[in-house]
Amino acid sequence: MLHYVTVERGEEIDRKTTDNLGTLLYWIFADITFSMACKYELRNRNNAKDCRRIIFEKQEELLGTLSENWLQKEKEEHQIILVNHPFDDLASLRASFCGQLRQQGYSESAIKKLAEEKYPQN
């Protein structure tokens, strides 16, 4: 049995078990490429795009250089995420606008209303 354990601040937050070395390697490289893709997105941020657009694309590119099967598997994982949490290209702009309104002393209910009017969610 092979175990892939994720520990954060001394606490186990995830454990996956498999008998397949290829599966274990996929889990490892999926995490590594995700971290690399996040760093890439930070250096290439576009506030008019959901950051996951850049992250997912870069991660898929990186995994694709290692394995076509891993690329396809990760694309499927990303699609599952997007079913429940679709891209929201206005999220960053909405968040910045909310911050500005908070500094101006608006109530949370007013902030929500104004932000939704200016930057509607999908």
Give 48-57 pLDDT, tens digit per residue: 899 999 999 9
Q: Please tell me whether residues 76 and 94 are part of one structural domain.
A: no
Retrieve residue 119's tokens.
Answer: 């930057």
Domain count, the chain: 2
117 & 79 share domain: no
* Position 2, amino acid: L
In a domain, 59, yes or no: yes
Determine which of 38-42, 60-64, 87-91 has the lowest per-residue pLDDT on average. Answer: 87-91
Domain of 55, in residue numbers: 22-84
Mean pLDDT, the chain, as a whole number?
96
Q: What average pLDDT does range 53-73 have in this prediction? A: 98
101: pLDDT strictly greater than 90: yes
What's the full length of the chain, in residues?
A: 122
Rounded CA-CA distance 6/15 in Å is 6
Same domain, 69 and 105: no
30 has a pLDDT exceeding 80: yes
Assess whether 98 and 73 both reside in one domain.
no
